Amino acid sequence: MPRVSQDHLDARRRQILDGSRVCFARYGYEGATVRRLEEATGLSRGAIFHHFRDKESLFLALAEEDAARMADVVAAQGLVQVMRDLLAGGSEHPADWLGTRLEVSRRLRTDPEFRGRWAERSQQLTAATRARLLRQREAGNLRDDVDVGVLTSYLELVLEGLVSHLAMGLPADDMGPVLDLVEESVRRHRVRASLDS
């Protein structure tokens, strides 16, 4: 039997992840049945579960991939940029990413076992946000009257609020000024010298 190259295995894994992302976004975690996953990926259950132990492992792989991608954007440009990308459709699959993010939120509320496993994985985004804020503070760009941990939590709550806003189907086109306000709220404001001094 011929050996399968690593490139082929990687391409097959990517095919499974891309198809599954669409399936989870469309049907949710519970509705993404094995049959629907097969249809979305164009592969058999044997091929899918050769690469992933079970449906939860597949879902976690997608969620981890999204968290890593978001952490990269946060490290370079900040968490508000992740939100702007989501609004602009700048990420590779913004609607599908939103679906995955919503499923993570739902499962965190309803599945204590999932919550425990996800806690370890979600630290990547929090750590990237905190590190970015610390760098901004050292550069003199971040307000210094609020603890960085508080600012990190604040930005993460805004992200969750934006995700909920989009999930409800509310308009996204008026969110740009809101994100401008969020960004301005964490910046350091330099006191301007008075002209009469």
What pLDDT, on a 0 to 100 scale, did the predictor assign at position 194? 44
Higher pLDDT, 197 or 19: 19
Can you give the pLDDT at residue 8? 85
Helix (H) or strand (E) holding 160: helix 148-167
The three-point CA angle 41-98-166 to 5° equals 145
Residue extents of the structural domains in the chain = 54-186
Q: Is the per-residue pLDDT at 90 higher than 50?
A: no
List, for residues 180-190, the tens digit of each pLDDT value.
999 999 998 76
Question: pTM of this prediction?
Answer: 0.77
Phi, psi of 188, rounded to the nearest 5 degrees: -80, 130
Number of Cβ atoms within 10 Å of the Cβ of 134:
14
Please report the pLDDT score of residue 94 as a whole number: 53
The residue among 92 and 7 whose pLDDT is bigger is 7
CATH placement of domain 54-186: 1.10.357.10
**pLDDT for position 190:** 63
pLDDT (0 to 100) of residue 5 = 84
Mean predicted lDDT score pLDDT of the chain: 85
Residue scoring higher pLDDT (4 or 138): 138
Q: Quick one: average pLDDT of 98-117?
A: 81
For residues 121 and 63, the answer to whether their CB atoms sit within 8 Å is yes
